[in-house]
Amino acid sequence: MRPIKNPRLRKLIRFAVPWVLMPGLVALGIAVFHEKRYAFISLCLAVLSVVLFASGFDKKKTGTRRLVIVSVLTALSIVGRFIPFFKPVTALTVLTGMYLGAESGFLTGSLTAALSNFYFGQGPWTPFQMLSWGMIGFVAGLLASPLKKSRILLLVYGVFAGVLYSFIMDIWTVVWYNGSFHLSLYLTALVSAVPYTVSYVLSNVFFLLLFARPFGEKLERMRVKYGV
């Protein structure tokens, strides 16, 4: 296969695969198996996309130090998930994506979900958490330069990530339960999840506001002194 030369096109494809192709496939699956149980199809897709990403990661050459830093940040955000109510997981994932690149962001987010669920309970939701947290980190990596420039934009992204995470997980909950999407059920789920959504959004904004600068400085030191 010939590599794609045009960086714009490459970026577009990188963006399109997770955000257009994946939901598209889910929709297609729903259309074909109009019977019901879309949950299983989307589950398979979530697993598949994580596996695809993982095998891509294996082929790429990653510096030893970068690998360690990613594992450190993953462990930090797993530990952070134990803090009650205020959880820095999403903020850490976003910052990782911003400063270490989209791929590291995806890995930190998705591995945090997979590994922390050993303590918080594994279930069919794990692949979805992996996918959504991974995507939050991935997109933060794609938007790195504007996010680094504008504090406002970063906070907006934090709010967006918190709300989106909640919305996606609720869609999954409803689809899993009902076999198909059901609007009033979904709305009820959203309303009942409001305290969680608020806590996600607040934690994201809070931690991004407080961490963005010191975290940037710390990683900058890593870059200058150790060339990560």
Partner 1 sequence: MNAFDEFNPLSVFVYFLAAAGIAMFASDPVLLSLSMLGSVLLYCIRTRSSQRGTHLFSLMLFIGLSLINPLFQHNGVTVLFVLNDNPVTLEALLYGISAAAMIVSVLYWFRSFSAIITSDKLLYLFGLVSSKLALLVSMALRYVPLFKAQAKNVDAAQRAMGQYREDNVIDAIRLKLSVFSIMVSWALENGIVTADSMAARGYGIGKRTCFSPYRFRGKDALLTILTLLSGAAVCILMGLGHLDFNYYPATDPLLFTPARAAAYGAYLLLCLLPSLIEIGDALKWQYLRSKM
Q: Which residues bind partner 1 (CB under 8 A)?
A: 35-37, 39-40, 43, 51, 54-55, 57-58, 62, 64-65, 67-72, 74-76, 78-80, 82-83, 88, 107, 111, 114-115, 118, 121-124, 176-179, 182, 184-185, 188, 210-211, 214-215, 218-219, 222, 226, 228
Instruction: Kindly tell me which of 163 and 193 has the beta carbon lying closer to partner 1.
Output: 193
Shortest Å, Cβ 9 to partner 1: 27
Shortest Å, Cβ 90 to partner 1: 14
Instruction: Kindly tell me which of 164 and 208 has the beta carbon lying closer to partner 1.
Output: 208
Instruction: Kindly tell me which of 74 and 204 has the beta carbon lying closer to partner 1.
Output: 74
Contact 16, 135 (CB under 8 A): no
Shortest Å, Cβ 8 to partner 1: 29
Contact 107, 70 (CB under 8 A): yes
CA pair distance 28, 20, nearest whole angstrom: 12
CA pair distance 210, 204, nearest whole angstrom: 10
> Residue 82 in 3-state DSSP?
coil
CA pair distance 205, 63, nearest whole angstrom: 31
Instruction: Kindly tell me which of 20 and 54 has the beta carbon lying closer to partner 1.
Output: 54
Shortest Å, Cβ 178 to partner 1: 7
**How many Å is the Cα radius of gyration of the chain?**
18
Place of tokens 């979805």: 128
Instruction: Kindly tell me which of 99 and 157 has the beta carbon lying closer to partner 1.
Output: 99
Alpha helices in 60-143 (DSSP H): 64-80, 89-100, 102-120, 126-142
Shortest Å, Cβ 12 to partner 1: 26
User: DSSP class of residue 125?
Assistant: T
Name the amino acid, one letter, at 195.
Answer: P
Instruction: Kindly tell me which of 19 and 118 has the beta carbon lying closer to partner 1.
Output: 118
Shortest Å, Cβ 7 to partner 1: 25
Six-digit token pair at 43?
A: 């589950």
Place of tokens 């490459």: 10
